[in-house]
Amino acid sequence: NRLKKQRYDIDDEALQEFFPLSHVCTAVFDVYQEMLGLTFHAVKGPDAAGTGILLWHEDVELYAVFDATSGQLVGHFLLDIFSRPGKFGHQCVVPLTPCYTPVAGLSRVRPVCAMLGNMTRPTADRTSLLRFAEVHTFFHEFGHVMHAVCTDVPYARLSWTWPMMPWPGGVEQDFLEVPSMMLEQFVYDEQVLRRLSRHYKEEDRSLPAETIQRIVDARHVGAGLGYRRFVAMALYDLKIHSSPPPYSFGDATGLTLRELWHRMMTEVSGCAPVADTFMPAAWYHMVIGYDAGYYGYLYSEVMAADLLGVFKEAGSLLDPTLGLAYRREILAPCASKGGLDMMRAFLKRDPSDQAFLELIGI
């Protein structure tokens, strides 16, 4: 953060003023609706909560998603984005109802999912402002929402889910993050970022062009260190899930879990852990189904960059024709097709890592 401020004059505190939660939420909705050919409608009813159905908290909002052309129902999503005591402490998307056809001849059951967050609730005298990193996360998680809602498959096992959920299915782990990682890159597009930003006191004022450019220029600050750390963690994950201790690494043998961690982080990431600490003891991903699969984040980032390149070549990330193709070839099949098959269907070629290397400046 200090490097970003010194080199690019980016002040995270000042940027927050341009990202009031209410506007960001509306703008994210607009971008996804425009790109994917969808319309969102808030579902309300006559009851005290205003929804007409039983929800688990008064903060929860329910939306129906329709195809913008045919008007047919696509699915539903719920937003539960404010922090409260006892709530799950991470941002994530939870599938509630899979997409499936119960019996031949009956209507297909449309998918339902919920987006969970821990943002600050606005009050009468205080606007909820987001850091840019939170805007980035919101855009990413809503990409998962669209993947879940746009799923169109006949069997529940092929519908969108992820390893922490109590039922099997969903896309292959290596492809789970690809759609949302592609979509999260939209926040670095000048057109999209201008729409996402609006000063909380001056509604006709969005981020200046020079500030947007600085954000784009600074996006890969420290990326080399970040990728080295990620590779070290992914290697450690694979190592400990391949055999029981003791472990060997390099010229060292007989290593405990903690000793292996310290050696791998020191030699691969270049940053030695603090003595007498053991971060994997609190490694959230290892207990929610990403064990032996943490590498998938970087793999997905490579695939996502390839998809993004198609939109860049078209000259607009919000190209509706490409958006519909993306919805049809990448989102709708979910687990009914393999990830690489979906990539080839959209790209019209085999996937490549070239777009990723260009994106990070290599």
- pLDDT tens-digit series, residues 267-280: 999 999 999 999 99
Residue spans per domain, the chain: 20-171
From CA 68, how far away is CA 324, in angstroms rounded? 11
Please identify which of the residues 141, 177, 184, 329 carries the catalytic annotation: 141
pLDDT (0 to 100) of residue 139 = 95
- Superfamily, domain 20-171: Collagenase (Catalytic Domain) (3.40.390.10)
Q: How many other CB atoms are there within 10 angstroms of residue 269's CB atom?
A: 19
Residue 135 contacts residue 19 (beta carbons within 8 Å): yes
Residue 145 contacts residue 193 (beta carbons within 8 Å): no
- Let me know if 141 is a catalytic residue: yes
pLDDT (0 to 100) of residue 164 = 78
**Buried b or exposed e, range 23-35, using 16+ CB within 10 angstroms:** bbbebbbebbbeb
331: nearest Cα among 27, 32, 26, 25: 32
Helix (H) or strand (E) run with residue 69 in it = none
pLDDT (0 to 100) of residue 51 = 53
pLDDT in tens, the chain (362 residues): 677 777 777 888 889 999 999 999 999 999 999 999 999 999 986 554 555 677 889 899 999 999 999 999 999 999 999 999 998 888 899 999 999 998 877 889 999 999 999 998 888 778 899 999 999 999 999 999 999 999 999 999 999 998 877 777 889 989 999 999 999 999 999 999 999 999 999 888 999 999 999 999 888 888 889 999 999 999 999 999 999 999 999 999 999 999 999 999 999 999 999 999 999 999 988 888 889 999 999 999 999 999 999 999 999 999 999 999 999 999 999 999 999 999 999 999 999 999 999 988 88
pLDDT (0 to 100) of residue 276 = 92
Q: How many other CB atoms are there within 10 angstroms of residue 348's CB atom?
A: 9
Residues 6 or more apart whose Cβ sits within 8 Å of residue 355:
305, 306, 308, 309
From CA 113, how far away is CA 149, in angstroms rounded? 7
